[in-house]
Each structure stands twice: as structure tokens, then as C-alpha cells.
Structure 1
Amino acid sequence: MVSKKCLRLDKDTKLEERGHWGSKVEFLLAVAGNVVGLGNVWRFPYLCYKNGGGAFLVPYLVFLMTSGVPLFLLESFMGQYTQEGCITCWKKLCPLAEGIGYGGQVILFYGCMTYVIIEAWCLLYITFSFSPTLPWTTCNNEWNTDKCFDASMQNESSARTNWTNTTSPSIEFWERRVLAISGGIEELGSIRWEVMLCLIVVWVICYFCIWKGVKSTGKAVYFTATFPYVMLFAILVRGLSLPGSREGVVFYLLPDPSRLSDPQVWMEAGTQILYSYSLGVGSLIVLSSYNSPSNNCYYDSLWLCFLNGCTSFVAGFAVFSVLGFMAHEQGVPIADVAESGPGLAFIAYPKAVALMPLPQLWAICFFVMFILLGVDTQFVAMEVVITTIIDLFPNEMRKAGRRERLLLCFCILCFFCQLIMITEGGMYVFQLFDYYATYGACILFLVVFESLALGWSFGPDRVYEIMYDMTGVRMNPIFKICWRYVTPLVSLVSLVCSLVWYKPLTYNRTYVYPDWAYMLGWGLSLSSMLLVPGWALYKLVTTPGTLRQRLHLLCQPDPAYCLTPMKEVELQQISVKDH
């Protein structure tokens, strides 16, 4: 006999209040928009170039198969099965690991502060793109120095002679006009008001994209998730038609097998997988929780992982074909124009579009693509945080108008917290948050415990059977081996290696942060990591019984959630007929 508690007959009503995707297409576009972002366009190609070209694809594919796809499928399962956010889902799967959900929300909060800054920079570049002459192409502006040198206006030999002793107009526009960057993090200076106005515009866009929950989010992704692909394809076609593009593609793909012995290459491949696929922070859990319980999340996960990997690979061709053209025009090695992080987006590409026909049009299209890539990821992160808070306090937060007010308060809080990042010394603060708070060790730490909790506590066999009950499809048994052994081991080794071979953050490879800034950075990392053992200790202390009884209780699924959603629906139908 099945208890009334186990049946959870009120669940359908609760799910209607919480909401669902309008269609499967909306879900797929939302996840695609979330996982396909700026990292695919500038970070993956740079890592390929930096770490041995085509040789980087070997560790990338290894981590994709051993960690990326298994974790992607696992998180999709968690959300769809529990129909809860990334904190409340752990209460039903493994209460001892609930701190993973809290840690993920802290990382997303930091991410919401940093990601919007990039969008504000892009918007500012768009406004300058309407000028008769692109301001980052000349050296006769008020912000230029005597060292400014436009290599494209010189012959090849002169360019090679003077390049190392001067700065390009695009660098000076970026650092002196957009950032007005100071000498270090100790010199914060004043707020950049133009960037602040762009920041407000981006926050308004993000707010209205998700203010009605999945109803508005699902409609927004039809445009924000598809238009970047159109632009990426246009840039790819245009880039491959430019002189010098072949050298750029060869530079991108040419393998350097000797780099495979470097542990740094493997670590960067692993962290890129987690970063690119939005793993460990709960985004996939929340997005999947709005699915129908019978949705085939198995096939969805495989196709979405394939889409993300292909997008990164194709973006490499678009990026390096343009960089090859730029190197050809300026007469410099590709290594001198391919930079990581914001440098590739705001230094190399503005130089590249300036050398194309109709440069203003290409500049506008390129930065619109960047904004849409970033906005997709940004408003999904906001949706995850808001949904998680609402699921924690459903009786208070699901009343009419509460969601909109909560979202508004969250946007205002993030805005005021990130004002320090748009000061003259804000770039140093931005990089500190990006390097320590939203990337690297903190995400690896959460992923280690997530894979251990689901692989050893909840159990891969249970996941396997529930997945079959929900979708009617038998997964490949190799996933059970990954969840129990391979993924936890690979994640743990990656975490240890990232700590052993830790490299302190620098700006442009020249500026070294003061010691207190590094301590602050690690404090940001620990603020999310310590929530996992801290919450586990709290639950062990507050739960009655012996230590063994507490561990047994806290590592078991909630008995009130003992049935899969499909079986619950069947039993509800039987109950209604009997009644």
C-alpha cells in the first residue's frame, strides 16, 4: 500500500503555480542560450591557440566525455525529477549535500555582477560604432598618447620595427577611453558614467526578459538564442573569405603534441568544460525543473552537449580566420594579436572590423552578437537565483506581484554592488571576481561533491531506473560507471591539480596584484566552497539521533518523495477513479 504522504496528491496544483515551459523548443533554446555564450566565442579559441592548437582538443574531448556529458545529464535529471530549484532539490535527493545548492547560488550571484559589465562595455562600443570614423582606428583623439601607432597605415617592415615599442589605437581606446584604467587596484578613482548608463540599460533589458518567469523567458530566447548563430555564421563566412584567413585557421588547428604532457593544458580543458556547460551552479537543474516529468531529458542532454561543443569548435574558425586576416594586414605574428579575455573582444576584434569594408556595420553586428550571447546567460542566471529563492519560500514568494518585486530588488542589489567595477580601477576588481569567485577551484569543488552525493549516496542505479521510468528510454550503462567512479575521480584530480599548480592572477601579464587582493580573491572562492561542509556540519549537529543514524538519514532520499513523477501521476489517476 502506498501512503498518502508518498502520493503527494497536491503536486499537480503546486506545479501549475510554479509554471512550465510553453513548449519543448523554449526549453531547448533557453539551455542552448545559457551554455552557448561568450566563452565559446573568445575563450575556447584562445585556449586552443595557447595550449597547442589541435592538441588541446584531446584533453577537451576527454573531459567532455568523462565529466561534461555525465554531469550535464545528471543535473538535467535532478531538476526534472524533483521539479525544484537547485537548493530544494537536494532536500529530496541527499539533504546532507544541500550546501552545494547554496554554494552554487553564491557563485551565480558573483557571476550576475561580472557578466553584465561585459554587456555594458559592448553597448558602449556599439554607440561609438555610429561615428563616421571608428574612434579606435586613429591616433588623433584626445585620449591618445605619443606612443599611439597605427600599424595598418605603415608598410610591413615599418610595422614590424615599431610594433613592440608602441601601443595600437584600439588598446588606447579600450584602456584610456572606455576604462580610463588606473595604475592598480589601490587606485579606484571615479565612476565611469558612460559605462554606468549602459549598465542600467542592460539591467532593464534583463529584467523585462524574465520578470514574468518562464512565460517571458521562454519567449525572449526565440530571438536571443538564435540571432547569435546567424551573426556567427556571417562572421565565419566573411572571415574565411579574407586574405590571410588560411594562416589563422592553420594556427588554430595545428597540433603541438608536446603540450599534452603539460598539466596546465589538462586543467584548463577541464575548467573550460565546467564553465562552458554551466555545471555545478544549478542552472541546468532550474531550467529542467520547468519541464514535464515525462520529458526525454536523456536525448535532450546529448544533443545540447553536442551543440555546445560544435559551437565552440566552429567559433574557433570564425575567430582565427579574422585574426589571420588582421595579422596579414598589419604584418605581425598572430601571437601578437590574439589575446585572452576582454582583450580579444575589445582590442583584437575592433582592430579586425576596422580593416573590413563597411567597418561601422560589422562593428555593430559583432557587438550586438556579443550582447545577445551574454544576455542569454545573464538572464538565465538571474532566473535560477530567483526561482531558487521562490522555491525556498513558496508560501510567501508565490503570491501575486512578489516575484516582480523580488527580481527588482535583486537587480538593484547587483547594480550597486558592481559600481566598484566601473570605476577607473574597476577592471582590476572585475578580473579578481572573474578569476576567483566564478571560475576554477570553486566550481570544481562543488562538482566533486555533487558527483559524490549523486554517485554514492543517491546511487547511479536509482538514477538509471528513474530515468527509464520518466522517459521510457534505457540510457547507456557507461553513465552509471561515470557517475560512480570516473566523474568524481576526474573532478577531484582536477581540483587538486588546480591548487598544486595555482598561478596568481595578473593583469596583462605585467601588473601583479598586492597580497591583500589575492587574499580577497581566495576569500571570494571560499565564500561558496565553505558552504558545502558548513551546511553538512550544521545538519549533522541539528538532526536528532546517533552519528550513524544522522548520516544514514541525511544521505537518503526523502521518503515523502519515494516515487517517480510518472508513477505518481498513474497512482493519482487510480485514486481519482476509485474516489
Structure 2
Amino acid sequence: MPKANREQWGSRTGFLLAAIGSAIGLGNIWRFPYVAYENGGGAFIVPYLVALLTAGIPLLILEYAIGHRFRASPPVAMRRLAKPAEALGWWQVAIPFVVGVYYAVIIAWAVRYAGFSLGQQWGADPDGFFFGEFLRVADGPGAPGGYNADVALPLIAVWIVVLVLLAMGVRRGIERANKVFIPLLVVLFGVLVVQALLLEGASTGLDALFTPDWSAITDGSVWVAAYGQIFFSLSIGFGIMVTYASYLRRRVDLSGSALVAGFANSSFELLAGIGVFAALGFMAVQSGVAVDEVATSGIGLAFVAFPQIISTLPVGANLFGLLFFGSLVIAGISSLLSIVQVVVSAVQDRTGMGRVPAVLSVGGATALVSIAVFPTDQGLFVLDAVDHFINAYGIALAGLVMVVVVAWALRRLPEMQRHVESISSVPLRIWWMVALGAITPLVLGWMMIDGLITELTVPYEDYPQWFLNAAGWGVAGGALLVGIVLAVLFRNREVTSVDEDLEEEERNGAKAAGAEEGGS
């Protein structure tokens, strides 16, 4: 069977917009503002920037280097590092499958809420409307007792859009979509922030967010929160950036691209913090309470607190709702594209399957699981548990294992550094080696130990242990098991060497250049 030519990004700008689109997701809007507020306010910026420079950007560069050097998705790239490491690559594919299954339903909620906001259909009780009338959540974890078409229909629409864009390819689908999505997201959210800043009480919210509590700098938990936020917000640790970098041209500025993507993501998080807390300040003033009584994060912020804010706006409520929920939809889809692309790319690389069949098979399977599980009355409980455990003991743990394997077990960091510096404008020097060889594994290791101690002491959200074993530990452990099983299944299926792939790229590039010259 002839080997298909590997796709490439049309331009470095296209790659950067896709990488930024992957990094800027729902967590930037509903997680960062509250994490900053709870961990020292303005003082949180110090550990946050330290974490960005000592863990976020170094890890981003490492993933770029692995994907670009070995020209493949995680399983093949890790196998080219060392044959046993293919299991780590497949683990990094199983995790995006799990994340994609539940991430899409949150986008579907935002789609519906963009419509609900036109007439504030949640009424006087946004909390009761969201959990009761809209999601129809059961009283507690158990067997599914009903299927919710109000959630299923927008979820199906989300998956159709995502699978169509993926089927169109890296350049014609993902790249073109992000060239529209990211500028549109910045414009929409920028208008929302301006509108929020004009509200009565906006300064109260901003004071609450940015007033520094310098004593927090000496609190170890604040630094752990900073590293956790950076790690989870940059789409590192579960194969996305390895996959995206594998489609880059041979000559590209990897370190410069990582700096642009990292600081663009952080800039959007700060913008989100301004917009969210300006709106929360308005809500606090209108309710006659302190900001800390209305400040929240996650699903509660997006689908309960913001509807309350929208309902009390004196003017422009419909526009504010459309801007906010429209921003969630765009940020979510750009991230979901990157999440599912990891799975599609891995299947293509290891089976030789074409893009459209791969998208229809593995992307379709992801969509079917999503549509089957999450529009039920148990969907919210499953989402909450799976999200918590797959982030803490999937993404973060896989990132830690990757760093330890590459830096300590295989000792390939010097090779990766030489590769990056040979084509990049920003030299890495010793800071990169120290960050990845010492700082990042120590911090991530501490996060794992600290999280496990808490987890084993207090059951997450006081859910029944059987439920946590199934939807929490079971899913996170299952992703690791799938990685090992797939590595065993593919152990005897050899891959072409990276040198053969590079030679083929050169031949294809020469043919394309000759065709252009002949046609000119």
C-alpha cells in the first residue's frame, strides 16, 4: 500500500492560530479568573508568569520538538524515540478521546444558551432552570432514567460541524476554520469586555480580582495552582501539540512559535479575567453583597451566574448574552477540533487509513459515545467525575511521565534542544534543560502526590465510591490500559524511519516546486 503524503499547514500563521485556538478554550474563560482571585489576586501574576516560563513554554517547545523532529502523531513519534515508548503515545491518544466525548456537550449547552439569552428564557431562577428544566439532572448518581432531546440536538449539530471540518483536512479544514474563529473570538470577547467595563460596579469586581495579596506568594498551594493553571490551559500533556507540530514544514521557528502561542493564551486569560470580574462586580453591587459571595467558576459561572447577570442588565442584555455564549461556542469548537485530531492522526499514522475514513470511524465513534451518554439525566454527574479524574490522573500524569521518559530515562533532551535551536530564532540555553529536567517533573510530581492524598482522604464531591471507581478512577485507568493494549497490538507493525519521511518530503517539495516553475 503506497504511503500517503503527510499534510502540512499552509503557513506558520495558520499553525499558530490553530495552536492558539486549541489552547484558548472554556477553561480560559471560566477557570482562570476564579483561580487568580482565590490565590492572591494581582499577586497571583508572579507565580503564574514563573510557571509559564519554567513549565508551560518549555513543555510546549518539547512537544513541538517531538512532533516536528519525528513527523508523526504521538504513538509513532514516541516509538521513534524508543520502541517501548509507543505505549505512552497511545495513552496520549486515549486521553483526548475521553476529553472529546464530554467536551462537546458543554459546547452544545452554550449553543442552546446563546438562544436562551435572547429572551432570558431561564426566568427568575437560572439555577433551577439549568439543572432542572434544561438538563433534567437526576437526584444523584445511578442508572440513566431519561434521554434529553434538548441537549442531544445541539450536541449532534456540534459533532457534525467538527467532523466536517476535520474531514476537510489540516489545511483546508482546521487551519481555515481557525483563521476565522480566533479573530472572531477576540472581537466578540473584546466587545463583551468593553460592555462589562461600562457596567455599574465593574471597578468593584476588578479591585477584587487585581488587588494583590502579597502574603499568598509564600503559600505553596498558590504556586501549585499557578502551575496547574498553566499546564491545563496550554493543551500540553495529551498529544495535541505533538500532533499539530508534525504537520509543520521542515524550516520553522519552533521556540518563537511557542513563545507567541504561550503569551497569546495568557493574554486572553487576563482579558477573560477582566471581563468576568467586571460582570461579577456589577452583579455584587446589584445584589448588595460582596464580590466573594458571587464569585464562582466552571459550569456555575457560565450557566448560572452569567444568566443572572444578563437578566439584571439595564440595557443590551440580548447582545451581552450572545457575545458571552457565542465566545464559549467558538473557543470550545476550536479546542475540540484539536482534541479529536489527535485520535484521527494516530489512526491514520498506524493503519494507513485515509483522512475521511479515519474521521468517520474514530471521530464518529467519539461522537456516538458522546451523544449516547451525556444527554441523559446522569450526564452532568459523569461529566464532572470524568473531567476531574482525566485531568488530574490522565493529562497531568501523562505529561509528567513524558518528561521523565524523555529527560531521565532516554536522555534525549540534548537531541531535542539541538533540533529546536537548529531552526529557531530564540536559543534555549541551559534554562530549558533545567526547567524540563528538574523544575517541571518536581512540580508535577508534587501536584500528583498532593492530589492523591486529598483524593484518598475525601471522596470527590462526596460522590458514592462505586461511582468514583467507575466514572473517575475507572476512566482514567482505562485510558492508560488502552494505551498499553494498543502498543502491544501494534508492536510488530513497523513504521518508516523519520529519515525516510524527510526524504519523501524533500522529493514531494521538489516536485511541487518544479510543477510551479513549469506552470509559470
* Same fold, judged at TM 0.5 (above): yes
Cα distance in 2 between the residues matched to 1:189 and 1:569: 57
Q: Counterpart of 2:122? A: 136
Q: Counterpart of 2:273? A: 316
Q: Counterpart of 1:112? A: 100
More moved, 86-95 vs 560-569: 560-569
Pair 1:302–1:318, CA change in 2 (3 A): same
Cα distance in 2 between the residues matched to 1:334 and 1:101: 44
- Which amino acid letter does the alignment assign opposite residue 156 of structure 2? I
Count of residue correspondences: 499
* Residue 181 in structure 1 maps to residue 167 in structure 2: no
Cα distance in 2 between the residues matched to 1:265 and 1:82: 37
Q: Counterpart of 1:554? A: none
Q: Counterpart of 2:465? A: 515
- Which amino acid letter does the alignment assign opposite residue 467 of structure 2? A
Residue pair 2:71, 2:501 contacting (<8 A) in 1 also = no
Residue pair 2:147, 2:375 contacting (<8 A) in 1 also = yes
Q: Counterpart of 1:244? A: 201
Percent identical: 28
Pair 1:514–1:568, CA change in 2 (3 A): closer
* Residue 447 in structure 1 maps to residue 382 in structure 2: no
Cα distance in 2 between the residues matched to 1:242 and 1:256: 26
Q: Counterpart of 1:332? A: 289
Residue pair 1:104, 1:280 contacting (<8 A) in 2 also = yes
Residue pair 2:117, 2:307 contacting (<8 A) in 1 also = no
TM-superposed deviation, 1:267 = 3.1
Cα distance in 2 between the residues matched to 1:375 and 1:33: 9
Residue number among 315, 318, 322 corresponding to 1:364 in the alignment: 322
TM-superposed deviation, 1:497 = 2.1
TM-superposed deviation, 1:29 = 0.7
Residue number among 377, 382, 391 corresponding to 1:429 in the alignment: 382
Residue number among 461, 475, 480 corresponding to 1:524 in the alignment: 475
Pair 1:467–1:387, CA change in 2 (3 A): same
Cα distance in 2 between the residues matched to 1:128 and 1:390: 40
Cα distance in 2 between the residues matched to 1:203 and 1:340: 26
Tell me the secondary structure at the aligned position of residue 5 of structure 2: helix
Q: CA RMSD in A?
A: 2.7
Residue pair 1:467, 1:473 contacting (<8 A) in 2 also = no
Residue pair 2:162, 2:333 contacting (<8 A) in 1 also = yes
- Which amino acid letter does the alignment assign opposite residue 523 of structure 1? G
Cα distance in 2 between the residues matched to 1:285 and 1:236: 33
Tell me the secondary structure at the aligned position of residue 516 of structure 1: helix
* Residue 61 in structure 1 maps to residue 49 in structure 2: yes
Cα distance in 2 between the residues matched to 1:118 and 1:171: 16
Residue number among 169, 178, 200 corresponding to 2:156 in the alignment: 200
Report matched runs for 1:16-165 at 5 Å: 17-131=5-119, 134-138=120-124
Report matched runs for 1:225-240 at 5 Å: 225-240=182-197
Residue pair 2:253, 2:423 contacting (<8 A) in 1 also = yes
* Residue 282 in structure 1 maps to residue 235 in structure 2: no
Cα distance in 2 between the residues matched to 1:222 and 1:344: 28
Q: Counterpart of 2:427? A: 474
Cα distance in 1 between the residues matched to 2:51 and 2:426: 25
Scaled by the length of structure 2, what TM-score is found?
A: 0.89
Residue pair 2:65, 2:419 contacting (<8 A) in 1 also = no
Scaled by the length of structure 1, what TM-score is found?
A: 0.80
Tell me the secondary structure at the aligned position of residue 135 of structure 1: coil
TM-superposed deviation, 1:435 = 0.9
Tell me the secondary structure at the aligned position of residue 377 of structure 2: coil
Cα distance in 2 between the residues matched to 1:441 and 1:123: 30
Structure 2 residue runs without a partner (length 5+): 511-520
- Greater gyration radius: 1
Cα distance in 1 between the residues matched to 2:93 and 2:454: 27
Cα distance in 1 between the residues matched to 2:26 and 2:235: 12
Structure 1 residue runs without a partner (length 5+): 1-12, 139-168, 544-557, 574-579
Deviations along 1:207-251, whole A, 9 cap, x unmatched?
A: 122112112111111111221111111111111111111110111
Residue pair 2:94, 2:479 contacting (<8 A) in 1 also = yes
TM-superposed deviation, 1:36 = 0.9
Cα distance in 2 between the residues matched to 1:127 and 1:535: 42
Report matched runs for 1:368-447 at 5 Å: 368-394=326-352, 397-398=353-354, 403-418=355-370, 419-437=372-390, 439-447=391-399
Q: Counterpart of 1:155? A: none
TM-superposed deviation, 1:568 = 9.5
